[in-house]
Amino acid sequence: MITLAGNRTALPIALVLGLIAACGTPDQKAAPAPAPVQAVHVPTSAAVSIAQMSFHPDTLQVQRGDTVIFTNNDVVDHDVTELPDSLWTSHLMHPGDSWKWVADSTAYYFCSIHVVMRGRVIVE
């Protein structure tokens, strides 16, 4: 025989069981995918050698923020000057000198002393 006292406890138990069943169904939404991990570029450096009246390599591909180190391995002075507007330039580089430039955008450059000497840095 069911008593009033028994009905009072049976209803909450039924609700709890119903909630547990609802939460455990296979249709439950999957947890949100973790945010994609952004690749962080650790700046590095790349070298350009100036020798025999030219830049080696004359085209260099780097990532934004990388440092390009120009070294004058020639027997005469050179410089590295942005083309076409000379937005930046190295100091006069004597044989053995180096100059560093942090690549922030693709740039063409030349030697303002020997204008046929040209190169470019492509920033990805």
d(CA 109, CA 70): 12
Q: Which of 47, 87, 113, 115 binds Cu ion (CB under 5 A)?
A: 113
Interaction of residue 119 with Cu ion, rule CB under 5 A:
no
- Which residues 66-95 are close enough to bind Cu ion by CB under 5 A? 78
Site map 31..70 versus Cu ion, x via CB under 5 A: ----------------------------------------
- What are the tokens at 44? 């590095």
Among 61, 98, 114, 120, binds Cu ion (CB under 5 A): 114
111 contributes a contact to Cu ion by CB under 5 A? yes
Tokens 């920033």 belong to 123
The whole-angstrom separation of Cα 21 and Cα 48 is: 68
Q: CA 69, CA 92: separation in Å to the nearest integer?
A: 14
